[in-house]
Copies of this chain bind each other. A is one copy, B any other.
């Protein structure tokens, strides 16, 4: 892997929102709506950053019904984040209210008696 390639990977990562998205993805596959809520950014904006990450080959996406789920596919990213940010936050996705994705609505249902 030449310097040019490595540099462009670092460049894509060198953006606060994209970095935070990558950090979220460490927990595992995450849908767009979830990222949107967690970061409190408009949908189009999040989607743009996800596109950048996809174009750079750092993440991949999978469609399931209306939701689109993103995953880390670049092996270096996790190692880099480990160095820079520390160990991965607890495994599994954190629930966010206001988020309507399947993962989040599961507990919302159980919480409404």
Contacts and interface: CB of A to CB of B under 8 A. Distances in A.
Interface residues of A, number: 25
Give how many copies assemble into the complex. 2
Interface in A16-43: 16-20, 23
A14 B3 contact: no
A14 B13 contact: yes
Interface string A64-87: 000000000000100110011100
A11 interface: yes
Given A76-B84, A80-B80, A83-B79, A13 B10 contact: yes
Contact of A83 (B7, B17, B80): B80
Contact of A13 (B7, B76, B83): B7
A109 interface: no
Contacts of A17: 3
